[in-house]
């Protein structure tokens, strides 16, 4: 009944302040944030590592003040874009969007199309995946396409970047067929250009792994996540925040596959990396806390799970506000904890609050909303409100079946529906068919779902049907 929180991590940030006082932004580095000393600050031409994104943001804003005086719009647009990137890293998503918009239009006005294209891609990520405005995010992909047309794209790398960004948004919209087609095209382009072990290839592989997990292809998802982890550790080092994001994704796949010890180890390492790199109050830390708590609960340690979830919810609410989608996701995990420990009224309240948030953030036709609705229905069965539970499960299954593939939580919903049909005196043949569908799906997953398969088999035996 828990909900995992997947990650898509932007590349690391490197800021160079040259002796003449101008700031240029490079590409992916080994993961440090640093400045090169100038005549007025620090040893000349010697890199100085900054301790936080806040320090980097201060450097960028100081550069903006100088850039205004130089009257060089491309430089100012570059710094505005970097400001947006750093604000996103700090969890200030609305401010990141505002800075990114300023960067895009400042660059476009003077024909600095490379900067405009990069800003548009940043905005696709922030608007679509951080703020949950999917259609707006797809518009930014189109803006990037216009900018790229001015630049040229001889080997297709700009197209690959757009395809990857659009695929991620489409995945968030539950358009899995569209997402897969775009991800596979992007991966083919970047592997051809860079070879198999480049960080950009790792980004494409990570997105494809998330799609495979979402559609129930867990073995393939694990293989891809392990490949991503190897690439990022080799390129960025074992303590980089991007490595933590990959560990979180790998842990999610391991959890779904039933490898709880492996999942707990990966989540624990991700949490330690994020606390050191980002501080204890960052939303990424809240995500690690919540997902680790779900695994700890599955391992049977309810008191520790409750401690972790309580902290996760407090950190996330403080970081992004009480009505943000990510708060809704944490509430799903809090509700699962309450239900598992017998607090059915508490679980009901948490799931209802999560649904209210998700309705506004992603809409009632999104699979995450459907999964949460099915979780709430299971709670209602425990509270003997069987008819309400049945209606909610029918709504959830209508959403799941409208989307290609088996959705996360769909098999659980089908088994719960079977119980609700029997509890309300409904069609027992349909109830048995729903339970058999759930059992067949879990058998395909493998050993990690052995307990779920056993529960279905026992229920079918009790209600007069073979597994």
In tens, the pLDDT along 390-441 reads 999 999 999 988 876 677 899 999 999 999 999 999 999 999 999 999 999 8
Mean pLDDT of 103-114: 96
- Mean pLDDT, range 16-43, rounded to an integer: 32
Cα–Cα dist 77/206, whole Å: 30
CB 419 within 8 A of CB 428: no
Distance CA 335, CA 3 (A): 10
Q: What is the pLDDT of residue 299?
A: 94
Are 333 and 290 in contact, with CB atoms under 8 Å apart? Answer: yes
Longest CA span, the chain: 83
d(CA 35, CA 44): 10
Lowest mean pLDDT among 90-99, 281-290, 313-322, 409-418: 90-99
Position 442 scores a pLDDT of 86
Assess contact for 412 and 438: CB atoms under 8 A: yes
Task: Indicate whether this model's pTM tops 0.85.
Answer: no
Give pLDDT tens digits for 151-182.
999 999 999 999 999 998 888 887 888 999 99
CB 244 within 8 A of CB 275: no
Structure tokens at 216: 């129930």
Going by the DSSP 8-state scheme, the letter that residue 447 receives in this structure is G
Half-sphere exposure of 47 (CA within 13 A, CB side): 9
How many other CB atoms are there within 10 angstroms of residue 27's CB atom? 10
8 A C-beta contact, residue 374 and residue 396? yes
- Domains defined for the chain, CATH in brackets: 1-112 (no CATH), 153-277 (1.25.40.10), 364-467 (1.25.40.10)
- Looking at residue 129, its pLDDT comes to 83
pLDDT at 443: 85
Per the prediction, the chain carries an average pLDDT of 85
Residue 211 has pLDDT above 60, yes or no: yes
Q: What is the mean pLDDT of residues 260-271?
A: 96
pLDDT for res 89: 75
How far apart (Å, rounded) are the C-alpha atoms in residues 32 and 96?
A: 21
Confidence of residue 465 (pLDDT cuts 50, 70, 90): low
Tokens representing 65 are: 């003040």
Nearest to 288 by CA among 317, 330, 258, 323: 330
Per-residue confidence (pLDDT) for residue 434, from 0 to 100 = 96
pLDDT for 97: 95
Pairs from 22-28 (Cβ < 8 Å, separation ≥ 24): 22/63, 22/66, 22/67, 22/70, 22/75, 23/59, 23/60, 23/63, 23/67, 23/75, 23/78, 23/79, 24/78, 25/78, 25/79, 25/81, 25/82, 28/199, 28/235
pLDDT confidence of residue 18: 23
> Higher confidence at residue 270 or residue 442?
270
Residues 342-384 have pLDDT tens digits of: 999 999 999 999 999 998 887 888 888 999 999 999 999 999 9
Of the listed ranges 7-11, 130-134, 329-333, the one predicted with least confidence? 7-11
Provide the pLDDT for residue 16: 25
Residue 71, burial from CB neighbour count under 10 angstroms (0-12, 13-18, 19+): exposed
**Contact at 8 Å (CB) between 67 and 75?**
yes
Query: Residue 13: what pLDDT?
Result: 23
Does pLDDT of 290 surpass 90? yes
pLDDT the model gives residue 15: 25
Reply yes or no on whether the pLDDT at 14 is more than 60.
Answer: no
How far is residue 164 from each of residues 178, 204, 211, 221, measured CA to CA in Å? Answer: 11, 7, 12, 17
pLDDT tier, 202 (very low <50, low <70, confident <90, very high otherwise): very high
pLDDT of res. 66: 85
Backbone dihedral angles phi then psi of residue 24, each to the nearest 5 degrees:
-120, 145
* Amino acid 27: pLDDT: 27
pLDDT at 150 over 60: yes
Query: pLDDT tens across 32-75, in order?
Result: 333 333 333 444 445 444 446 678 888 888 888 888 888 889 99
Q: Give CA–CA dist 69/62, Å, rounded.
A: 12
Q: What is the DSSP letter of 449?
A: G
- Residue 106's pLDDT band (cuts 50, 70, 90): very high
CA distance 349 to 356: 11
* 336 touches 297 (CB < 8 A): yes
73-89 and 93-109 helices cross at what angle (nearest 10)?
A: 160
Which pLDDT score, from 0 to 100, does residue 213 have? 85
């Amino acid at each position: 009944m828990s909900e995992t929180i997947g990650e898509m991590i932007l590349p690391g940030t490197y800021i160079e302040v040259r002796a003449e006082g101008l700031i240029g932004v490079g590409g992916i580095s080994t993961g440090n944030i640093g400045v090169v000393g100038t005549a007025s600050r620090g040893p000349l031409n010697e890199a100085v590592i900054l301790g936080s994104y806040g320090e980097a943001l201060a450097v960028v804003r100081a550069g903006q003040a100088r850039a205004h005086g130089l009257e060089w719009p491309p430089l100012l647009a570059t710094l505005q874009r970097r400001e947006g990137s750093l604000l996103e890293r700090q969890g200030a998503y609305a401010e990141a969007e505002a800075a990114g918009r300023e960067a895009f239009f400042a660059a476009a006005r003077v024909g600095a199309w490379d900067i405009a294209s990069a800003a548009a891609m940043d905005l696709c990520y922030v608007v679509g995946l951080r703020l949950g405005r999917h259609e707006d995010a797809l518009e930014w992909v189109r803006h990037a396409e216009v900018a790229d047309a001015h630049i040229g794209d001889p080997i297709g790398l700009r197209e690959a970047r757009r395809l990857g960004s659009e695929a991620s948004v489409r995945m968030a919209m539950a358009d899995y067929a569209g997402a897969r087609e775009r991800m596979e095209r992007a991966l083919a382009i970047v592997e051809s250009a860079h070879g198999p072990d480049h960080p950009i290839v790792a980004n494409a592989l990570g997105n494809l792994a998330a799609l495979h997990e979402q559609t129930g292809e867990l073995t393939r998802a694990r293989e891809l996540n392990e490949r991503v982890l190897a690439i990022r550790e080799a390129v960025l080092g074992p303590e980089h925040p991007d490595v933590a994001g990959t560990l979180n994704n790998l842990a999610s796949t391991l959890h779904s596959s039933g490898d709880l010890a492996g999942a707990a180890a990966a989540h624990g390492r991700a949490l330690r990396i994020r606390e050191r790199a980002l501080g204890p109050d960052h939303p990424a830390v809240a995500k690690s806390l919540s997902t680790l708590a779900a695994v700890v609960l599955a391992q049977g340690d309810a008191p520790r799970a409750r401690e972790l979830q309580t902290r996760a919810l407090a950190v996330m609410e403080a970081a992004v506000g009480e009505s943000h989608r990510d708060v809704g996701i944490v509430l799903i995990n809090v509700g699962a904890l309450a239900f598992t420990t017998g607090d059915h009224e508490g679980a009901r309240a948490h799931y209802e609050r999560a649904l209210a948030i998700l309705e506004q953030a992603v809409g009632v036709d999104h699979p995450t909303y459907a999964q949460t609705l099915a979780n709430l229905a299971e709670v209602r069965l425990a509270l003997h409100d069987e008819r309400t539970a049945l209606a909610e499960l029918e709504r959830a299954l209508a959403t799941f079946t409208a989307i290609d593939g088996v959705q996360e939580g769909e098999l659980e919903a089908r088994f719960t529906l079977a119980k609700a049909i029997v509890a309300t005196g409904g069609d027992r043949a349909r109830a048995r068919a729903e339970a058999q569908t759930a059992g067949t799906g879990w058998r395909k997953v493998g050993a990690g779902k052995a307990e779920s398969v056993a529960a279905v088999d026992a229920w079918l035996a009790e209600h007069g049907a073979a597994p």
